[in-house]
Structure 1
Amino acid sequence: MIVDAHHHLWAADAGYTWLDAPDLAPINRTFTPAMLTAELAAAGVARSVLVEGGRCDTDEAAVLLGHAADTPEIAGVVAWADPASPELASTLAGFRALPGGDRLVGIRAQVQGEDLDYLDRTDVRAGLATIGAAGLAFDLVVRVDQLASAARAADALPSVRFVLDHLGKPRIMAGAEGLAEWRAAIAPLASCPNVAAKLSGLVTEADWQRWTVDDLRPYASSALEFFGAERLMLGSDWPVCLLAGDYGAVRSAMLTALGGLTATERAAILGDTASRVYRLSA
């Protein structure tokens, strides 16, 4: 089963205030399930994972799970919740009771906007354990300088499944300096067997107008080196990727950047890893 392991859907004027930045005008509009399924069909993708979109309120979960309930292609939803909330367990139970709640596969918080040591906090660690105990993965959307704390959290919580989004958002435009910084930071996290990673979001960390496959290749090959295909999954980050390229072009570029893969490696990255880590239904 071919899976797009990371995409979003949102409606205009629905609380996604981060989209108000002038340079995000091309994606500051409504993206519907019908628009998504057209992209999936054109690319030969059978299933997808719908990820919270930075609205950062629990009411968004009902919308996303509702999309999943009505859209067979959406096999899983990663909803937003606050790991530090004392109401976290009841929030997760509430999500599961919603229409489409059986498609809930993970939780994400906007850690990239938090302090450097956010994932070291006792209350946050307790919340991550609650998420894991609920049978859910936790998506890590973090900065490069937060990868060390992510590694400490993953090491301290071996029973929790972590998924690193966008390879930790490396500074691709910084060239060799950015690559060296990222490789040193990601190695400890990759050494934790309970962490998988998404080959996603790289084109928007590069120059949006002038990126090439060569810009992406060192990160794709390093990810394969560090995680192995059995812990890597491919995600489009659509519609955010539209800032730098269309769905098909971005997907093709990432596969080209990976270079020659065995049939087993290709199957893992294109779907098997996402299906296993997120426990997607067939």
Structure 2
Amino acid sequence: MDSQPATPWRIDAHHHVWDLAVRDQPWTRNLPALNRSFGMADLRPHLRGAGIDATVVVQTSAVADETADLLALAARDEHVRAVVGWTDVTDPGIGEALDRLREGPGGALLVGVRHAVQEETDTTWLHRDEVRRGLQAIGAAGLVYELLVRADQLPMAVRAVEELPEVRFVLDHAGNPDIAPDALAPWAASMIRLGRCANVTVKLSGPVTRSPAPRTRHLAPYADVLLEQLGPDRLMFGSDWPVCLLAASYERTVAVAASLTARLSPHEQSEVYGGTAARWYGMKRSAGRGPTH
């Protein structure tokens, strides 16, 4: 008898967890909805309700200890299958720092590194020599570098992608565009440039918090540009939970993303909701987990 094809693997490629008893999250102090601890026990019912099989947990603090904690979580949690952590990109010893993280519990599940470039005031930060060396070291280690930038920093990020073709990038939250009629064209111009670069994918994440209201009509023009310029096989869904709770529930966040991609074929939807993330991060479906690159 012929074996049946595996059902599509559904992945939430971007969420966070934090425990305020372990580590402060100063950025949440003026956001009452987020100024508490969030763990996998809080997220798990929503994952199961949405049919999400696996997740990628992403750093929130610029401390290596948080990355070690996230890797240890991934080693024991049934849903977390990959970690995007933090290490000092400007550190001349970044290679050794990555090795130390990979040698600890869950270290095989480290798939990428991120730094909150959106908090940097230098508009040329990604072009600094020490940063470029760090990005190249991340690429040489077989890891992805995730770009977290403000809308005004997007051209800087695009230039880094263009000038470092040997590094694999992921653009978080589609570059955090301003959702406004006069903001679409300049953002779309950046997406056109990224569409020409085979070394980058984009996360369809955080859309509900970028819109004045989490409605499809506000976000559809942006989703259409992403689908036209990058295609489903270079887009990956991420909830950005619990940050999404500032605007919508997990269920509403998933529903908005589904409405933005409703015109896609079943295969194309399976790319956005799992295939792209699985390939880009080298995620394994088996219980004996660990990325391959």
Shared fold by TM > 0.5?
yes
- Are 2:47 and 1:40 aligned? yes
- Are 2:11 and 1:3 aligned? yes
Kept after mapping to 2: 8 A contact 1:144/1:185: no
Aligned equivalent of 1:233: 236
| Residues 208-227 of structure 1 mapped to structure 2, 5 A cutoff | 210-227=213-230
Kept after mapping to 2: 8 A contact 1:78/1:105: yes
In structure 2, how many angstroms separate the alpha carbons of the residues matched to 1:219 and 1:258? 11
| Residues 103-182 of structure 1 mapped to structure 2, 5 A cutoff | 103-114=109-120, 115-172=122-179, 175-182=180-187
Aligned amino acid, residue 39 of structure 2: T
In structure 2, how many angstroms separate the alpha carbons of the residues matched to 1:266 and 1:211? 21
Which sits farther off after the overlay, 65-74 or 186-195?
A: 186-195
Kept after mapping to 1: 8 A contact 2:67/2:86: yes
User: Shift in Å at residue 46 of structure 1?
Assistant: 0.2
Q: Which consecutive residues of structure 2, in runs of 5 or more, have no partner in the other structure? A: 1-8, 286-293
Q: Could you tell me the percent identity over the aligned residues?
A: 43
Listed one character per residue, the Cα deviations across residues 42-94 of structure 1 (whole Å, up to 9, x for unaligned) are 110000000001x2111101111111011021110000112111121111001
Kept after mapping to 2: 8 A contact 1:216/1:254: no
Aligned equivalent of 1:51: 58
Aligned equivalent of 2:266: 263
User: Shift in Å at residue 211 of structure 1?
Assistant: 3.1
Aligned amino acid, residue 50 of structure 1: V
Kept after mapping to 2: 8 A contact 1:150/1:189: no
Kept after mapping to 2: 8 A contact 1:83/1:128: yes
User: Shift in Å at residue 195 of structure 1?
Assistant: 0.5
Kept after mapping to 2: 8 A contact 1:147/1:189: no
Kept after mapping to 1: 8 A contact 2:214/2:256: no
In structure 2, how many angstroms separate the alpha carbons of the residues matched to 1:72 and 1:159? 33
Aligned amino acid, residue 188 of structure 2: R
SS where residue 210 of structure 2 aligns?
Answer: coil
User: Shift in Å at residue 121 of structure 1?
Assistant: 1.1
User: Shift in Å at residue 128 of structure 1?
Assistant: 0.5
TM-score (normalizing by structure 1): 0.94
SS where residue 203 of structure 1 aligns?
Answer: helix
TM-score (normalizing by structure 2): 0.91
What value does the CA root-mean-square deviation take over the aligned residues?
1.2
Runs of 4+ in structure 1 over 6 Å off: none
Q: Which consecutive residues of structure 1, in runs of 5 or more, have no partner in the other structure? A: none
In structure 1, how many angstroms separate the alpha carbons of the residues matched to 2:264 and 2:111? 28
Listed one character per residue, the Cα deviations across residues 4-36 of structure 1 (whole Å, up to 9, x for unaligned) are 000000012512111112xx1101111112122
Change (3 A) 1:40 1:235: same
